[in-house]
Amino acid sequence: MDEVSKSSVTETLITENEQGQRLDNLLLKKCKGVPKSHVYSIVRSGQVRVNGRRADVSYRLQTGDVLRLPPLRIARIEQEIVAGAELKVTLPVLYEDDGLLIINKPAGIAVHGGSGVSFGVIEALRRQRPQARFLELAHRLDRETSGILLLGKKRSVLLALHEMFRDGGLSSSGRGADKRYQVLVAGRWMDPVRNVRLPLLKYLQASGERRVCVSEEGKAAHTVFRLLARWERFSLLEAQLKTGRTHQIRVHLAHLGYPIVGDEKYGDFALNKELPREGLKRMFLHAWQMRLPHPLDGRGLVVEAPLPAALSRFLQAVATKEKQDYGDKI
């Protein structure tokens, strides 16, 4: 199913790649420029039909279903501006085959649009690859985080990746993914290797902003930290996710008293104000390596994303100014 027509009634046949998707999720992806509230309204009012009948937003589409959509109104000028921006986004490809796409996501771009974000990685890739019949995110990275991001180009691959990433890579088949990040923290980290098991709870602030905290009421979360280098004010760590909770690395480190350098949610705000003068204008968290079995044939894949230039320059500046007492020289 391609993007829907905005000016006339559309009837389209659901393909195998769309099998099992909720009706609302499919419509939100395909109805670009249409407000989310309007999409739900046309479903609930019966203007959207599946096989000639009304359907609930939670209906799971089946191969061969006929989906009928009414004409849809969009803000055309705004859509054209967003489309132009999507085409200009640079998303370096680290690996690609018929079923799998792995990119190096830049910091500062969300993985998908919504909540005040006009577009994200997935919208940009679909705009840049109009011939792609299927393209879906297999997992997420925070907007401020750079590095390895996987997408499925087939539904079978996407489902296999979801299974690998379930509970942070500890899938029921034992064929999980090993995700590792490089992170610079404020403070002198002393342990060469440290297992951190602290439960995490999501909550909303009065402003509506989503946050996460350590709480006994939260879900189990496990991160392994390895010390790579240490200076007078900072420590460079590798973080290995054993579970995949929202903001897991950021909250674990902040709770332990080692906030990530440049983290605007959980960081050292006084230090963050000084960082631009020292050459750093982003959070120092980068998804640098992933090991996983290929979801189609099981062969081992090792993908690495080099540290972005801005982070490398900042490390070099720290190494020049401060004495290093642990790890290989930067």
Which active-site residues does the annotation give? 142
Task: Provide the token pair at 39.
Answer: 């999409």
Whether 304 and 298 have beta carbons less than 8 Å apart is answered as: no
Which residues does 248 contact at the CB level (< 8 Å), separation at least 6? 200, 212, 221, 223, 241
What's the full length of the chain, in residues? 330
Task: Provide the token pair at 291.
Answer: 């090991």
Whether 139 and 103 have beta carbons less than 8 Å apart is answered as: no
What is the side-by-side order of every strand in the sheet holding 53-54?
Answer: 10-13, 66-69, 49-50, 53-54
Whole-number Cα distances in Å, 216 to 70, 232, 248: 48, 34, 15
Tell me which H or E stretch contains 161: helix 155-165
